[in-house]
Amino acid sequence: MPEIILSTKKLTKTFGEFRALENLSVEIQAGKITGLIGPNGAGKSTLFHTLTGILKPTGGQVFPKSQEITNSRTNQLFKMGLAFTFQLPRPFKKMSVLENVMISPVNQIGERLTGPFFQNTEMKREEAKIRDRAMQILEFVTLDHLANQAAGKISGGQMKLLELARVLMVNPSMILLDEPAAGVSPTLTELLIEKITELNRQGTTFLIIEHNMDFIMKRCDPVIAMAEGKVIFEGTPAEAQRNPLLLEAYLGAAIND
Ligand SMILES: Nc1ncnc2c1ncn2[C@@H]1O[C@H](COP(=O)(O)OP(=O)(O)OP(=O)(O)O)[C@@H](O)[C@H]1O
Ligand SMILES: [Mg+2]
């Protein structure tokens, strides 16, 4: 039996009368790169936001491993090794790329950086350690040459890599990525895929929302598809490609748009 790292039971999220998630039960296997696909408005980001505690579910439950976290705060999730990025990157634009990585939510370091925290020697040593680690991670995502650049000045693709760098600071066992390749150049997308693959080989579990089918088909297994707040398919990428329900969901969404 595969180990389940994260699951939901009958998860529901409503916005007024609208049901963005409806009795959604999924199980995410440890050690895999699971792809989450579905037409615009299917509820993919809403699922992420309820998984990560940003949104409170209307009903149902979320379990990392066997522990229920339905109403946890997001910093508690980081401590449990569950890290995530937003569909749209949200860097602190005036801060440098390096500072953005340093204030990643590890023990709320960000709040302490500017305060009296780093005044004494021990704290300065701590800061140096964090800086070193941040630089190593920036090297890994190939942004080290931009360390001192303001985060608002880097390209959209580089911002996606910066988001990945920020979550890597917490040494997560699982990373949720919401459209990491959206608006990213083919070269940077290749790089991103390479880094994700490398991290996965080292044991990191991924759950990735993507519209880039090339990315999904080559790198994700299993694939989960959603439409109208429900899971409509789970299987291999090859099975996904020939599934009529999926084709219908995408066509339906295109017609409704
Ligand atoms: N805060 C909100 N208030 C009201 N409706 C919302 C809210 N967030 C999402 N929705 C609605 O819920 C549905 C699902 O949205 P969601 O962002 O989860 O879709 P998605 O699958 O991520 O789509 P995309 O591929 O376009 O990112 C959409 O119809 C959206 O308009
Ligand atoms: Mg979305």
Probe residue for ligand 1, chosen from 14, 46, 85, 257 as the CB with the greatest number of ligand atoms within 8 Å? 46
> What pLDDT sits at residue 116?
56
Q: What residues does ligand 1 touch, defined as CB less than 6 Å away?
A: 15, 18, 20, 38, 40-46, 87
Q: Model confidence over 2-27: pLDDT tens digits?
A: 788 889 999 999 999 999 999 999 99
pLDDT at residue 83, as a whole number: 72
Taking the centre of ligand 2 as the mean of its atom positions, its distance from the CA of residue 37, in whole angstroms, is: 10
Give me the CATH topology for the region 1-81+172-257: Rossmann fold (3.40.50)
**pLDDT value of position 254:** 62
237-251: pLDDT as tens digits: 999 988 988 888 877
- Dihedrals phi, psi of 96, to nearest 5 degrees: -75, 165
List, as own/partner pairs, every contact residues 228-235 make where C-beta atoms lie below 8 angstroms and the sequence separation is at least 24, other chains included. Answer: 228/22, 228/42, 228/43, 229/13, 229/19, 229/20, 229/21, 229/22, 229/24, 229/42, 229/43, 229/46, 230/22, 230/23, 230/24, 230/43, 231/24, 231/25, 231/26, 232/38, 234/26
Asked if 6 contacts 28 with a C-beta cutoff of 8 angstroms, the reply is yes
- Atom 3, ligand 1: which residue's CA is nearest? 15
Taking only the tens place, the pLDDT of each residue in 75-116 is 556 556 677 776 666 778 899 999 999 986 554 444 445 555
Q: What is the pLDDT of residue 227?
A: 94
Global confidence as pTM = 0.86
The residue whose CA is least distant from atom 1 of ligand 1 is: 15
Q: How close is the Cα of 89 to the center of ligand 2, in Å?
A: 13
Instruction: Parse the chain into domains and list their residue ranges.
Output: 1-81+172-257, 90-169
Residue 4: strand pairing partners: 29
Q: Which residue owns the Cα nearest ligand 1 atom 16?
A: 43
Q: Residue 129 has what DSSP assignment?
A: H
**CA-closest residue to ligand 1 atom 12:** 20
- Check the CA dihedral 91-94-97-100 and report its sign: negative
